[in-house]
Amino acid sequence: MLVTGASRGIGAAIARAAGAAGYRVGVNYLRSAAAAEAVVADIRAAGGEAVPLQADVGDPAQVERLFAELDSRLGRIDVLVNNAGILASFRVDALDHAQVAAVFRANVFSIFHCAGEAVRRMSTAHGGAGGVIVNLSSVAARLGGLAGGAAYAASKGAIDTFTLALAKEVGREGIRVAALRPGLIETEIHDVHGGLERMRTMAREAVPMGRSGTAEEVAQAALWLASAAASYVHGAVIDVAGGR
Ligand code: NDP
């Protein structure tokens, strides 16, 4: 299983859970080498197998290198989790073009680059053995995101739509595709707009369950989607959001 953006937060939790479930795990990261090494060390300490793989998944040449490294170090890819993503906060009337581009590059173009490489390996039409692709969307796709989050929310809407389109494209080629829409989850991504305490306060008010979620709770949903237990779940976009 390749998990993009697995040095921290939800990606790290998915990588750890995957290692514990017996997957050989590619732990991709952008800059946090020490954190990625720590995730790999945790997986190995628990008896699993993992390798750290540095690459900016927004860059097609780096994604090509990432998959070549994955091929040589871990062998066949069965599951791709497109998790890497960034948040930006600005009003549209104070538009920052560079930030809009950065959000779409990291959140959307990355998924095209990684899914392209994965489908070329997994698809039975290319001689592959099939597989599963899980995309990390967000409830922002249907709620419009928090104040200043238009670029982020729109990028997640694109992920939902991409999930439906890819499901049609590869469903007969042994590949299942699905997306998760997490709600307010406790990770460093919230540093962009006030940090964890502000997010927890928001969660107490806005989430029907009255609390934020953990990265591990999202990881369990991702592992289920990847597993044979979800064998007829395809083109689905599933909320993991405490009812929000
Ligand atoms: P974090 O900010 O905690 O972690 C982001 C991870 O993505 C890091 O490992 C980071 O690597 C990596 N990353 C960012 N850009 C790139 C890139 N260009 N190439 C490779 N890796 C990259 O985020 P979360 O764990 O909170 O979020 C994970 C996913 O879940 C995202 O897609 C996010 O949008 C989605 N999500 C999160 C929610 C939440 O409340 N936390 C809610 C809804 C959706 P490095 O450490 O090297 O920077």
Active site residue 29: no
Asked if residue 2 has its Cβ within 6 Å of ligand 1, the reply is no
185 CA closest ligand 1 atom index: 40
CATH code of 125's domain: 3.40.50.720
CA distance 60 to 2: 16
The pLDDT value recorded for residue 217 is 98
Look at residues 84, 142, 157, 150 and name the one whose alpha carbon lies nearest to residue 115. 84
pLDDT at 193 (0 to 100): 85
Q: Write the residue with the smallest CA distance to atom 34 of ligand 1.
A: 85
Per-residue pLDDT, 194: 87
d(CA 158, CA 90): 19
User: How many domains would you assign to the chain?
Assistant: 1
Distance 102 CA to ligand 1 centre (A): 13
Q: Where are the alpha helices (DSSP H) in 177-234?
A: 195-206, 215-226
Per-residue pLDDT of the chain (244 residues; tens, 9 = 90+): 999 999 999 999 999 999 999 999 999 999 999 999 999 999 999 999 999 999 999 999 999 999 999 999 999 999 999 999 999 999 999 988 999 999 999 999 999 999 999 999 999 999 999 999 999 999 999 999 999 999 999 999 999 999 999 999 999 999 999 999 999 999 999 998 889 999 999 999 999 999 999 999 999 999 999 999 999 999 999 999 999 9
Residue reference for tokens 């017996």 = 22
Residue 114 · residue 105 · CB < 8 Å: no
Ligand 1 pocket check for 56: Cβ under 6 Å: yes
Relative to the CA of 139, which ligand 1 atom is closest? Answer: 43
pLDDT of residue 138: 98
- For residue 107, the model assigns a pLDDT of 98
Query: Residue 167 contacts by C-beta under 8 Å, 6 or more apart in sequence?
Result: 176, 177, 178, 234, 235
Tell how far the Cα of 9 is from the centroid of ligand 1, in angstroms. 7
Which domain does 96 fall in, by range?
2-240
Ligand 1 atom nearest the C-alpha of 212 is 40
Ligand 1 centroid vs 6 CA: distance in angstroms? 8
Pocket test for ligand 1, best of 2, 25, 29 (most atoms within 8 A of CB): 29
